[in-house]
Chains A and B, each alone.
Chain A
Amino acid sequence: MTKAVGLLVALFALWLALSGYFKPFLLSLGVLSCLFTVYLASRMKLLDDEAVPLQLRLSLPLYWSWLGGEIFKSAVAVSKVILSRDMQLNQQLIAVPSPLKTDMGHVIFANSITLTPGTVTVEAVPGKFLVHALTEEASAAEGFQEIARRVAAVETR
């Protein structure tokens, strides 16, 4: 039930952001279509932690801004590799253990690794990721542990 209300609020906020009209007729059409979508989603049994991630902590935007800083730093590192005269490529496929508890935590961790330029998650098996790293610095285990620690702080309330 909480999830249905959460999805309804999110859908209606999206409607308002995209339409920008506040006439009663259009607003009621928006409410009706959002209600219909929530009904369809509940019929398809989609109202779970995956579709409506209300279990995540509200500090998620803080995590995103920290991740933004990390992304910027590693983007500078990758740019240096691209622009250097002799590209110092040390391509590696490394195993990264994922200590997180929930599926959503694994997804956020793997996507964070992929978002950071210089590392890409290639394959995922339970509890482990195969990560492709462009350089030696990008493959440092401490960097991955730092990300995992911060994801663990936001994955459950």
Chain B
Amino acid sequence: MMDQALLDLALDIASAITFTVGGAFVLIGAFGLVRLPDVWSRIHAAGVIDTVGAELILLGMMFQTGLTQTTLKLALIGLFLFVTGPTATHAVANASFVAGLRPVRLRRNETADVLGEQPRKEMQP
């Protein structure tokens, strides 16, 4: 039974590490969401929360449950966030791009290379 206690201790330590790192990323991301200057840079702060923070915290929870149905559900939540997160982020970025918002202090702009020179079709109802 000594091995079991050691395994539990190792899993607890693994959970503590992933929780600390994941929680730190979540807090940094939330702080960045308040601190960064415009919507374009804030998207990246939200990306830190949505990907690294969320997945690490879910991973830490998975260490605590062992091989049960709960682990499977946590994995499903993680997979779902992994797949839908970038779609939602892209939707926000694309919507603000179409609405005409541009980043502040833009260093390099190759929009014309992608969209061509013609003005974009107006999206009116």
Contacts and interface: CB of A to CB of B under 8 A. Distances in A.
A79 to B, nearest CB: 5
- The majority secondary structure among interface residues of chain A is mixed
Contacts of B97: 122-123, 130
Interface in B10-60: 25, 28-29, 31-32, 35-37, 40-41, 43-45, 47-48, 51-52, 55
B61 interface: no
A68 B52 CA distance: 8
B19 to A, nearest CB: 15
A78 B28 CA distance: 9
Interface in B70-125: 72-73, 76, 82-83, 85-87, 89-90, 93-94, 97, 102-111, 113-115
User: For chain A, which range describes its interface: under 10, 10 to 19, 20 to 34, or 35 or more residues?
Assistant: 35 or more
Contacts of B48: 75, 78-79, 82, 117
A14 B69 CA distance: 11
Among B44, B87, B89, B102, residue most surrounded by chain A Cβ atoms (within 10 Å): B44
Interface in A64-80: 64, 68, 71-72, 75, 78-79
B108 A123 contact: no
B36 A120 contact: no
A90 to B, nearest CB: 5
A82 B73 contact: no
B90 A93 contact: no
Interface string A24-37: 00000000000000
A110 B114 CA distance: 15
11 contacts: A14-B76, A79-B48, A87-B36, A90-B105, A95-B113, A111-B87, A115-B82, A118-B44, A125-B115, A132-B40, A134-B44
Interface of B: 25, 28-29, 31-32, 35-37, 40-41, 43-45, 47-48, 51-52, 55, 69, 72-73, 76, 82-83, 85-87, 89-90, 93-94, 97, 102-111, 113-115
